[in-house]
Amino acid sequence: MAIITVSRGSYSKGRELAEKVAQRLGYECISREVLLEASKEFNIPEIKLVRAIHDAPSILDRFVYGKEKYVAFIQAAICRHLKNDNVVYCGLAGHFFVGDVSHALRVRVVADMQARVKAEMEREDISAREAERILKKDDEERRKWSMFLYGIDTREPRNYDMILHISKITVDDAVDIVCHTVALEHFKTTAASRQAMDDLALAAEAKAVLVSSRPDVEVQAANGIVDITTAAPEVHYQTISEELQKAVQSIAGVKDIRLHIVPSDPVD
Protein backbone atom coordinates (compact mmCIF):
# COMPACT_ATOMS: atom_id res chain seq x y z
CA MET A 1 0.00 0.00 0.00
CA ALA A 2 1.41 3.37 -0.97
CA ILE A 3 0.86 6.79 -2.51
CA ILE A 4 2.37 7.71 -5.88
CA THR A 5 2.43 11.27 -7.20
CA VAL A 6 3.33 11.91 -10.83
CA SER A 7 4.47 15.37 -11.91
CA ARG A 8 4.99 16.08 -15.59
CA GLY A 9 5.05 18.66 -18.34
CA SER A 10 2.72 18.76 -21.32
CA TYR A 11 3.09 15.80 -23.70
CA SER A 12 5.67 14.02 -21.55
CA LYS A 13 3.42 10.93 -21.24
CA GLY A 14 3.11 11.36 -17.51
CA ARG A 15 -0.65 10.80 -17.54
CA GLU A 16 -0.22 7.59 -19.55
CA LEU A 17 2.38 6.42 -17.05
CA ALA A 18 0.12 7.22 -14.09
CA GLU A 19 -2.85 5.39 -15.58
CA LYS A 20 -0.82 2.28 -16.43
CA VAL A 21 0.80 2.17 -12.98
CA ALA A 22 -2.60 2.47 -11.33
CA GLN A 23 -4.05 -0.25 -13.52
CA ARG A 24 -1.20 -2.66 -12.81
CA LEU A 25 -1.25 -2.07 -9.06
CA GLY A 26 -5.02 -1.88 -8.76
CA TYR A 27 -4.76 1.69 -7.42
CA GLU A 28 -7.15 4.61 -7.86
CA CYS A 29 -5.88 7.16 -10.38
CA ILE A 30 -6.96 10.78 -9.87
CA SER A 31 -6.21 14.06 -11.58
CA ARG A 32 -8.72 16.66 -12.82
CA GLU A 33 -11.48 15.35 -10.56
CA VAL A 34 -9.65 16.96 -7.64
CA LEU A 35 -10.40 20.36 -9.18
CA LEU A 36 -14.04 19.41 -9.59
CA GLU A 37 -14.29 18.32 -5.96
CA ALA A 38 -12.67 21.50 -4.67
CA SER A 39 -14.94 23.58 -6.91
CA LYS A 40 -18.14 21.94 -5.66
CA GLU A 41 -17.11 21.56 -2.02
CA PHE A 42 -16.19 25.21 -1.55
CA ASN A 43 -18.52 26.81 -4.10
CA ILE A 44 -15.81 28.16 -6.39
CA PRO A 45 -16.40 27.95 -10.17
CA GLU A 46 -14.06 25.33 -11.61
CA ILE A 47 -12.91 27.72 -14.31
CA LYS A 48 -11.22 29.84 -11.65
CA LEU A 49 -9.23 26.85 -10.44
CA VAL A 50 -8.29 25.82 -13.98
CA ARG A 51 -7.18 29.32 -14.90
CA ALA A 52 -5.13 29.53 -11.73
CA ILE A 53 -3.02 26.69 -13.13
CA HIS A 54 -3.00 27.31 -16.85
CA ASP A 55 -3.25 31.06 -17.33
CA ALA A 56 -0.77 32.46 -14.80
CA PRO A 57 -0.44 32.87 -11.04
CA SER A 58 -1.63 36.46 -11.38
CA ILE A 59 -5.20 35.20 -11.91
CA LEU A 60 -5.40 34.55 -8.18
CA ASP A 61 -4.65 38.17 -7.40
CA ARG A 62 -8.05 39.10 -8.83
CA PHE A 63 -9.83 37.39 -5.94
CA VAL A 64 -9.77 38.36 -2.27
CA TYR A 65 -7.15 36.14 -0.65
CA GLY A 66 -7.18 34.07 -3.84
CA LYS A 67 -3.81 32.44 -3.21
CA GLU A 68 -4.61 31.36 0.35
CA LYS A 69 -8.01 29.97 -0.61
CA TYR A 70 -6.75 28.18 -3.70
CA VAL A 71 -3.96 26.39 -1.83
CA ALA A 72 -6.26 25.42 1.03
CA PHE A 73 -9.06 24.07 -1.16
CA ILE A 74 -6.78 22.09 -3.49
CA GLN A 75 -4.73 20.65 -0.63
CA ALA A 76 -7.86 19.49 1.17
CA ALA A 77 -9.23 17.81 -1.95
CA ILE A 78 -5.94 16.08 -2.76
CA CYS A 79 -5.26 14.92 0.80
CA ARG A 80 -8.79 13.54 1.09
CA HIS A 81 -7.87 11.02 -1.61
CA LEU A 82 -4.26 10.40 -0.63
CA LYS A 83 -5.06 9.41 2.95
CA ASN A 84 -6.85 6.32 1.60
CA ASP A 85 -3.58 4.91 0.21
CA ASN A 86 -3.40 2.82 -2.96
CA VAL A 87 -3.69 5.93 -5.11
CA VAL A 88 -1.80 7.52 -8.00
CA TYR A 89 -2.19 11.28 -8.27
CA CYS A 90 -1.23 12.80 -11.61
CA GLY A 91 -1.12 16.57 -11.61
CA LEU A 92 0.39 19.69 -10.16
CA ALA A 93 0.94 20.12 -6.42
CA GLY A 94 0.56 16.55 -5.15
CA HIS A 95 4.23 16.01 -4.37
CA PHE A 96 4.40 19.32 -2.47
CA PHE A 97 2.03 18.02 0.19
CA VAL A 98 3.50 14.58 0.95
CA GLY A 99 7.21 15.27 1.38
CA ASP A 100 7.09 14.09 5.01
CA VAL A 101 5.01 10.97 4.31
CA SER A 102 7.40 8.05 3.98
CA HIS A 103 5.07 5.79 1.98
CA ALA A 104 4.67 8.41 -0.75
CA LEU A 105 6.73 7.93 -3.93
CA ARG A 106 7.16 11.22 -5.77
CA VAL A 107 7.84 10.75 -9.49
CA ARG A 108 8.75 13.35 -12.10
CA VAL A 109 8.39 12.45 -15.80
CA VAL A 110 10.25 14.39 -18.48
CA ALA A 111 10.58 13.92 -22.25
CA ASP A 112 12.65 15.28 -25.12
CA MET A 113 11.41 18.61 -26.46
CA GLN A 114 11.51 17.20 -30.00
CA ALA A 115 9.03 14.45 -29.12
CA ARG A 116 6.79 16.88 -27.24
CA VAL A 117 6.80 19.31 -30.18
CA LYS A 118 5.78 16.51 -32.55
CA ALA A 119 2.86 15.55 -30.33
CA GLU A 120 1.72 19.20 -30.03
CA MET A 121 1.96 19.67 -33.81
CA GLU A 122 -0.20 16.61 -34.47
CA ARG A 123 -2.78 17.53 -31.86
CA GLU A 124 -3.18 21.20 -32.79
CA ASP A 125 -2.20 21.04 -36.49
CA ILE A 126 0.38 23.80 -36.10
CA SER A 127 4.01 24.40 -37.12
CA ALA A 128 6.98 23.10 -35.18
CA ARG A 129 7.97 26.65 -34.26
CA GLU A 130 4.53 27.47 -32.85
CA ALA A 131 4.34 24.14 -31.01
CA GLU A 132 7.69 24.75 -29.33
CA ARG A 133 6.64 28.27 -28.35
CA ILE A 134 3.45 26.98 -26.72
CA LEU A 135 5.25 24.20 -24.83
CA LYS A 136 7.94 26.51 -23.48
CA LYS A 137 5.28 29.00 -22.38
CA ASP A 138 3.34 26.23 -20.63
CA ASP A 139 6.46 24.95 -18.88
CA GLU A 140 7.30 28.43 -17.63
CA GLU A 141 3.75 29.06 -16.39
CA ARG A 142 3.80 25.80 -14.44
CA ARG A 143 7.14 26.72 -12.91
CA LYS A 144 5.90 30.20 -11.96
CA TRP A 145 2.72 28.67 -10.54
CA SER A 146 4.59 26.40 -8.14
CA MET A 147 7.04 29.13 -7.17
CA PHE A 148 4.21 31.60 -6.50
CA LEU A 149 2.13 29.23 -4.40
CA TYR A 150 4.74 27.12 -2.64
CA GLY A 151 8.13 28.66 -3.30
CA ILE A 152 9.18 25.41 -4.99
CA ASP A 153 10.68 25.01 -8.47
CA THR A 154 9.21 22.06 -10.38
CA ARG A 155 12.61 21.58 -12.06
CA GLU A 156 14.42 21.03 -8.74
CA PRO A 157 15.40 17.31 -8.48
CA ARG A 158 15.33 17.23 -4.69
CA ASN A 159 11.53 17.59 -4.78
CA TYR A 160 11.23 14.06 -6.20
CA ASP A 161 12.24 10.55 -5.28
CA MET A 162 12.60 9.57 -8.92
CA ILE A 163 12.96 11.35 -12.26
CA LEU A 164 12.22 9.32 -15.39
CA HIS A 165 13.19 10.47 -18.87
CA ILE A 166 10.89 9.03 -21.54
CA SER A 167 13.36 8.73 -24.38
CA LYS A 168 15.55 5.65 -24.39
CA ILE A 169 13.10 3.98 -22.05
CA THR A 170 9.46 3.55 -23.02
CA VAL A 171 6.39 4.30 -20.93
CA ASP A 172 6.06 0.58 -20.21
CA ASP A 173 9.69 0.50 -19.03
CA ALA A 174 8.93 3.42 -16.73
CA VAL A 175 5.86 1.62 -15.39
CA ASP A 176 8.05 -1.37 -14.52
CA ILE A 177 10.50 0.89 -12.67
CA VAL A 178 7.80 2.70 -10.67
CA CYS A 179 6.01 -0.51 -9.70
CA HIS A 180 9.28 -2.14 -8.62
CA THR A 181 10.32 0.90 -6.59
CA VAL A 182 7.02 1.39 -4.79
CA ALA A 183 7.18 -2.26 -3.65
CA LEU A 184 10.41 -1.60 -1.74
CA GLU A 185 10.29 -1.70 2.05
CA HIS A 186 10.90 2.04 2.37
CA PHE A 187 7.60 2.89 0.62
CA LYS A 188 5.37 0.50 2.55
CA THR A 189 2.73 2.09 4.76
CA THR A 190 3.48 1.97 8.48
CA ALA A 191 1.40 3.05 11.45
CA ALA A 192 3.57 6.16 11.77
CA SER A 193 3.40 7.11 8.09
CA ARG A 194 -0.35 6.55 7.99
CA GLN A 195 -0.73 8.84 10.99
CA ALA A 196 1.42 11.46 9.28
CA MET A 197 -0.89 11.37 6.24
CA ASP A 198 -4.02 11.47 8.41
CA ASP A 199 -2.62 14.49 10.26
CA LEU A 200 -1.93 16.29 6.98
CA ALA A 201 -5.43 15.56 5.70
CA LEU A 202 -7.12 16.69 8.92
CA ALA A 203 -5.14 19.92 9.04
CA ALA A 204 -5.98 20.56 5.39
CA GLU A 205 -9.71 20.03 5.97
CA ALA A 206 -9.69 22.42 8.93
CA LYS A 207 -7.72 25.06 7.03
CA ALA A 208 -10.12 24.87 4.07
CA VAL A 209 -13.09 25.41 6.38
CA LEU A 210 -11.50 28.42 8.08
CA VAL A 211 -9.59 30.18 5.31
CA SER A 212 -12.51 32.16 3.88
CA SER A 213 -13.15 33.95 7.19
CA ARG A 214 -9.60 33.75 8.60
CA PRO A 215 -7.18 33.85 5.60
CA ASP A 216 -4.17 34.25 7.92
CA VAL A 217 -4.97 31.07 9.86
CA GLU A 218 -2.30 28.42 10.41
CA VAL A 219 -3.41 24.88 11.16
CA GLN A 220 -1.56 21.77 12.31
CA ALA A 221 -2.88 18.42 13.48
CA ALA A 222 -1.48 15.50 15.45
CA ASN A 223 -3.44 12.41 16.44
CA GLY A 224 -6.77 14.19 16.15
CA ILE A 225 -5.70 17.29 18.06
CA VAL A 226 -5.99 20.38 15.88
CA ASP A 227 -3.84 23.43 16.66
CA ILE A 228 -5.16 26.69 15.20
CA THR A 229 -3.22 29.94 15.18
CA THR A 230 -4.61 33.29 14.04
CA ALA A 231 -4.38 36.97 14.88
CA ALA A 232 -7.15 39.19 16.23
CA PRO A 233 -7.61 42.28 18.42
CA GLU A 234 -7.85 41.24 22.09
CA VAL A 235 -11.36 42.66 22.36
CA HIS A 236 -12.53 40.00 19.86
CA TYR A 237 -10.79 36.97 21.40
CA GLN A 238 -13.97 35.41 22.79
CA THR A 239 -15.96 35.84 19.60
CA ILE A 240 -13.13 34.51 17.42
CA SER A 241 -12.59 31.53 19.73
CA GLU A 242 -16.24 30.53 19.55
CA GLU A 243 -16.25 30.99 15.77
CA LEU A 244 -13.20 28.76 15.25
CA GLN A 245 -14.41 26.08 17.65
CA LYS A 246 -17.81 25.87 15.99
CA ALA A 247 -16.36 25.69 12.47
CA VAL A 248 -13.87 22.89 13.19
CA GLN A 249 -15.46 20.70 15.85
CA SER A 250 -17.80 18.94 13.41
CA ILE A 251 -14.98 17.77 11.09
CA ALA A 252 -14.59 14.00 11.20
CA GLY A 253 -11.49 12.93 13.14
CA VAL A 254 -11.21 16.01 15.36
CA LYS A 255 -10.71 14.95 18.99
CA ASP A 256 -9.68 18.27 20.48
CA ILE A 257 -8.99 21.84 19.40
CA ARG A 258 -6.25 24.08 20.74
CA LEU A 259 -6.51 27.77 19.89
CA HIS A 260 -3.64 30.23 19.74
CA ILE A 261 -4.81 33.78 19.14
CA VAL A 262 -2.11 36.40 18.95
CA PRO A 263 -2.91 40.11 19.38
CA SER A 264 -3.28 42.35 16.37
CA ASP A 265 -4.18 46.00 15.95
CA PRO A 266 -7.92 46.75 15.85
CA VAL A 267 -9.37 47.48 12.42
CA ASP A 268 -10.63 51.06 12.10
Total count of domains within the chain: 2
Residues of 30-58 as b/e, b for ≥16 C-beta within 10 angstroms?
bbeebbebbbeebebeeebbeebbeebbe
Q: For residue 194, is it within any domain? A: no
pTM of the predicted protein model? 0.82
Q: List Cβ neighbours of 72 (8 Å cut-off, separation of 6 or more).
A: 204, 207, 208, 211
Tens place of pLDDT for every residue, the chain, 268 residues? Answer: 799 999 887 678 888 999 999 999 999 998 877 767 766 666 666 656 665 555 545 555 555 556 677 778 888 888 988 998 899 998 777 788 888 899 999 999 988 888 888 888 988 899 999 999 988 888 887 787 777 767 777 778 888 999 999 888 999 999 999 999 999 999 999 999 999 999 999 999 999 999 888 888 999 999 999 999 998 888 888 998 999 999 999 899 999 999 998 887 655 4
> Would you say residue 150 lies in a domain?
yes
Instruction: For residues 140 and 73, state if they share a domain.
Output: yes
Same domain membership, residue 178 and residue 82: yes
Does 32 lie in the same domain as 153? yes
Report the pLDDT value the prediction gives residue 142, as an integer from 0 to 100: 77
Domain range for residue 121? 3-187
Same domain for 135 and 234? no
pLDDT of residue 192: 95
CATH code of the domain containing 158: 3.40.50.300
Which pLDDT value is given to residue 265? 66
CATH number (domain holding residue 236): 3.30.300
In a domain, 37, yes or no: yes
